[in-house]
């Protein structure tokens, strides 16, 4: 693994600057509007995790709602690196979670996401003392951590490897039957299922309405933009006229 100190410290600083403690989980849906980021969830092809676009102060993320929720959370954190940390960023299609060393920017975005979602202090607080040595951590503890931080199993195992708590050769016993292993311990399987289809987080609607009111976009463009988030403006207009 490369020296990721700047990414660890950057993720920690990002948490603090944006009102998240050093060990608590991030509640994505309530946190993103505070960052001024609009996030749209749409079903996409499996090999496409999402994308980010930045235009001036406007920040936008598209997330693949066909992926499991844990992967979606990681994708969002990955895209935050592009939007807030990467210099001179404009737009990029991402394949979050691959930790591919061949692509330096995507590799750094993946590690930033891992540090942001799973802070070391928080992880350590959830591990019993008797498991705080290499390859001693148990499945029950791993599931507890991934449920607490709503993170993917693979990203968590890589994080634990970076903390010298598990070695790569031990991964196989923990990455099979991920959902059922959590259910066997009494957790529900929502984290391991797809979801959020066509959900929008942020002020997409108000932004579109503001552009329309200022004459920046036409009525038909406004109608199309709102239709993209499942709002039929023509029905609202017709209802107002009837009243």
What pairing do the DSSP bridges indicate for beta strands 37-42 and 200-201? Answer: antiparallel
CB 147 within 8 A of CB 188: no
CB 76 within 8 A of CB 32: yes
Distance in angstroms (rounded) separating the CA atoms of residues 209 and 90: 24
Burial class (CB in 10 A: 0-12, 13-18, 19+), 77: buried
- pLDDT, mean over the chain: 87
Among candidate residues 43, 90, 97, the one with its CA nearest the CA of residue 75? 97
pLDDT the model gives residue 56: 82
Distance in angstroms (rounded) separating the CA atoms of residues 137 and 135: 6
Among candidate residues 107, 72, 77, the one with its CA nearest the CA of residue 15? 77
CB 22 within 8 A of CB 125: no
pLDDT bracket for residue 78 (50, 70, 90): very high
pLDDT the model gives residue 223: 67
pLDDT bracket for residue 233 (50, 70, 90): low
Spell out the residues 6+ positions from residue 29 whose beta carbon is closer than 8 angstroms to its own: 201
Distance in angstroms (rounded) separating the CA atoms of residues 109 and 77: 8
Q: Is pLDDT at 170 greater than 60 in this prediction?
A: yes
**Backbone torsions φ then ψ of 2, nearest 5 degrees:** -70, 165
CB 13 within 8 A of CB 121: no
- What does the pLDDT average to over 45-68? 91
- What does the pLDDT average to over 209-225? 66
């Amino acid at each position: 693994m490369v020296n990721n100190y700047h990414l660890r410290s950057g993720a920690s600083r990002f948490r603090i600057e944006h009102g998240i403690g050093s060990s608590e989980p991030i509640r994505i849906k309530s946190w993103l509007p505070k960052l001024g980021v609009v996030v749209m969830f749409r079903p996409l092809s499996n090999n496409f995790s999402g994308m980010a676009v930045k235009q001036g102060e406007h920040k936008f993320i598209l997330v693949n709602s066909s992926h499991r929720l844990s992967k979606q959370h990681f994708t969002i954190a990955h895209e935050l690196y592009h939007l807030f940390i990467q210099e001179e960023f404009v737009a990029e299609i991402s394949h979050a979670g691959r930790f591919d060393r061949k692509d330096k920017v995507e590799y750094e975005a993946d590690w930033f996401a891992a540090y942001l979602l799973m802070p070391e202090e928080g992880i350590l607080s959830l591990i019993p003392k008797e498991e705080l040595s290499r390859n001693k951590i148990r499945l029950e503890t791993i599931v507890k951590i991934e449920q607490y931080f709503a993170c993917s199993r693979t990203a968590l195992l890589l994080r634990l490897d970076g903390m010298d708590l598990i070695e790569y050769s031990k991964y196989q016993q923990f990455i099979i039957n991920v959902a059922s292993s959590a259910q066997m311990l009494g957790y529900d399987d929502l984290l391991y299922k797809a979801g959020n289809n066509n959900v929008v987080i942020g002020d997409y609607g108000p932004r579109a309405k503001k552009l329309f009111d200022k004459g920046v976009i036409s009525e038909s463009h406004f109608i199309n933009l709102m239709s993209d988030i499942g709002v039929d403006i023509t029905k609202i207009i017709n209802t107002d006229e009837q009243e």
